Amino acid sequence: MPALAKRIQEIQVSGSTRMSVRARELREAGHKVITLTVGEPDFATPPHAIEAAHAAALAGKTKYPPNDGWPELKAAIARKFSRENGLDYAPDEIIAANGGKQVILDALLATVDPGDEVVIPTPFWSAYSDIGRLCGGVPVLVPCPQNNGFKLRPEDLEAAITPKTKWVTLNFPNNPSGAALTRAEVAALAEVLMRHPHVWVLSDEMYEHIIYEDTGGHHSIAAVEPRLKDRTLTVSGASKTYAMTGWRVGFGGGPRALIKAMTNMQSQTTNGIATVSQAATIAALDGPQEGVEERRRLYRERRDLVVSMLNEAPGLQCHKPEGAFYVYPSVAGCLGKTTAGGRKLETDEDLAMALLEENHVATVSGTAYQMSPYIRLSYATDTETLREACARIQDFCRGLH
C-alpha cells in the first residue's frame, strides 16, 4: 500500500467521536445507553427555516452558489452582526462556509506558515490545535484552571504571545467548560492584544446565544475594542442557536483581505455551501427569534438540574457554567478508587470508559480537551434523560471503593 501523508499523523479522532462510537456499539449489543457526548441541540430546526429551504428548491435555486455565499445570505449575516454584535461588515468582509469548523480551516490555511504559533486557552475544542497542526502551525496551550473560572487571564495571555504568534483563539462561551466573559474581562484581553499588532484574533462565538446570568450578555471582542476589528475574525453560525447542525452553515466576519484569502482557500476545497441550507439560514437569521430565548431558558433549567445532581455524586465537583450547554465536572475525588465492576480508575479516561461500559452513560474525558481530571457532559437533551443519566452517575460514584 502506498504511504499516507505525514500530516495525517498529526490529526486524531476527537474524544467525543470515539466515545460516541463505543456508545453505539454498546447500544447495538442491547444496552440502554445514554449519550451525552455530542454538542448538538435536541430541538427541531425552526419550521420557517425548513419551509424556506423547500421553497428555494422548488424555485430552482439548486445551482452552484458563489464560493463565499449568496449575496442574500451575506446581507442577512451582516444584519445579524450589526443587530446582535454591534459589528458592521460589508459584503466582502463576510464568508459563509460548511460550518464554523470550515471558517476556521479557511482562516488558518490562508495565514499560517510552518512554525507559526497558535495560542489556545485550555480546556478547548480539539479542532483548534488539529487544524493548526494541519496548516503547519504550532499550538501553544494556555491553561485556564477551574479556580479562575476556566477563564483566560490577561497576564497568562501576555506570557503566551511571542514574535512567532500568528493567532490567538478565544472561545467564550467555551466548549467544554461553559465559561463566559464579562465585558470588563473581554476588554482586559483586548488591552493585551492591542500591544501585539502582528497577531490575528480568532473569536469563536458559536455559543453566543446560549449565555446565562452574571456576564451581562455576550460581548464580541471586535465590538468591545473596535481597534482590533481589522485583525479579528468573528465566527458564528446557525448550528447551535437554531438547532441546525446538519444544515452545515457557519460564517465569519473579518477584514476584507483576510476574507478574500479565505474565499480563495474555500474555492479549492468545497466551493460554496448547499443552496437550500443558505435559504434556511436566511430565514432563521431574519425570522422570529422568540424560540432562541425559550431554548436558553430550557438550557438554564437543565444546567441547574445537572450541576445540582452531579454535586451530590461522591467524588465529583461541578462548576456552574455561565453559557453553552456543557458541564465540566472535576473527577479528582474518584481517581485511585475501584469501580463496582473491579476497574481501577487512574485517569479521567479510565473513568469515562468505565462509566460508559458499567453504567451506560457516555461522556468525554477531559484529556480530549487538554485539561484533566475532568469529564464533559452535554445537557442538550431532554430533562428526563438528563435526570436518569445523573442518577446513573451518582450510582457509579457511590459504588467506588
Domain parsing of the chain, residue ranges: 6-44+291-398, 63-286
pLDDT in tens, the chain (401 residues): 898 888 887 777 777 778 888 999 999 999 999 999 988 999 999 999 999 999 999 999 999 999 999 999 999 999 999 999 999 999 999 999 999 999 999 999 999 999 999 999 999 999 999 999 999 999 999 999 999 999 999 999 999 999 999 999 999 999 999 999 999 999 999 999 999 999 999 999 999 999 997 778 999 999 999 999 999 999 999 999 999 999 999 999 999 999 999 999 999 999 999 999 999 999 999 999 999 999 999 999 999 999 999 999 999 999 999 999 999 999 999 999 999 999 999 999 999 999 999 999 999 999 999 999 999 999 999 999 999 999 999 999 999 99
Quick one: fold of 63-286? Aspartate Aminotransferase; domain 2 (3.40.640)
What radius of gyration, in Å, describes the C-alpha atoms of the chain? 21
DSSP state of 5: P
Contacts of 305 (CB under 8 A, 6+ apart): 379, 383, 386, 387, 390
Q: Are strands 250-253 and 232-237 parallel, antiparallel or unpaired?
A: antiparallel
Domain 6-44+291-398 has CATH 3.90.1150.10: yes
- Candidates 290, 131, 304, 128; CA nearest to 212 is 304
**Cα gap 69→92, rounded to integer Å:** 10
What is d(CA 327, CA 217) in angstroms, rounded to the nearest whole number? 19
Q: Specify the pTM.
A: 0.95
**296, 210 Cβ separation under 8 angstroms:** yes
Asked, colleague to colleague, whether 6-44+291-398 and 63-286 share their fold, the answer is no
22: cell is 463505543
**What are the DSSP E strand ranges found in 244-343?**
250-253, 326-327
Q: And the C-alpha cell for 395?
A: 450510582
Farthest-apart Cα atoms in the chain, separation: 64
